[in-house]
Amino acid sequence: MKILVLSNDQGIFNKIKSKFNSFSINTEFVLATHIEDIPKDLAGLIVPEKVPFNDLSIFLKYAKNNNLKTLFTEQGLISLISYFNQKECETKEFEGSSATFLALGSKLAEIIGGAGPLNTKYNLNWEIPIKFFPDKFLLSGINVGNGSIEALEMVGDWEIIGIIWPIFSEEKAPSGFENILSWISE
């Protein structure tokens, strides 16, 4: 399967490939920032960083029309929320805890293999206040300390999951988070 990584940063691209390889998930990656560079046989789209609104719009229309699983991570989650709210999502300094609550019945809980409280162990330095939660989405993960957005997923149209966690970092992810990589590559 091929996954498009929407990024200009070769370092991020290499980290993503390395993380998939560390879990022996056999996936081919394409780095592109122009729609004409997209191969026809894609299975998914990963957005790991902020993307300008117009560029994101083009790629999201393509993803929807081709029913691509779409994963937004870290700063990419800000772009997702801004796009669907049609206004800039503002972040603030992190004031929560290292614990997340995953919603029972959410696609993310199904993928990870559990719901309820979870210690993510990630040292975040920014958060997204709940007031920026977009319509058409389900809140699948909230910070236990202050209720800020940590994960969301689209209801209906096509499979979109957005997570604040740096799952492609060198930090050891909580058990089950590798299943997010398997999900996007299937």
Q: In which band, very low, low, confident or very high, does the pLDDT at 168 lie, cut at 50, 70 and 90?
A: very high
Using one digit for the tens of pLDDT, what is the confidence trace for 26-65?
899 988 777 777 888 888 999 999 999 999 999 999 999 9
Rounded to an integer, the average pLDDT of 60-79 is 94
pLDDT value of residue 131: 96
pLDDT value of residue 124: 85
Using one digit for the tens of pLDDT, what is the confidence trace for 77-117?
999 999 999 999 999 999 988 899 999 999 999 999 999 99
Rounded to an integer, the average pLDDT of 124-143 is 94
136 has pLDDT over 80: yes
Which pTM was predicted?
0.94
Listed in order, strand segments (DSSP E) in 13-164 are 28-32, 42-47, 69-73, 92-93, 99-102, 116-119, 126-127, 137-143, 149-154, 160-163
Q: What percent of the chain has pLDDT over 70?
A: 99
Question: Among the residues of the chain, which ranges form H helices?
Answer: 10-22, 53-65, 75-85, 107-112, 178-185
pLDDT value of residue 171: 81
Mean pLDDT across the chain: 91
pLDDT value of residue 125: 92
Q: In which band, very low, low, confident or very high, does the pLDDT at 126 lie, cut at 50, 70 and 90?
A: very high
**Are the C-beta atoms of residues 115 and 104 closer than 8 Å to each other?**
yes
- Phi/psi of residue 53, nearest 5 degrees: -50, -50
Q: In which band, very low, low, confident or very high, does the pLDDT at 13 lie, cut at 50, 70 and 90?
A: very high
pLDDT value of residue 173: 81
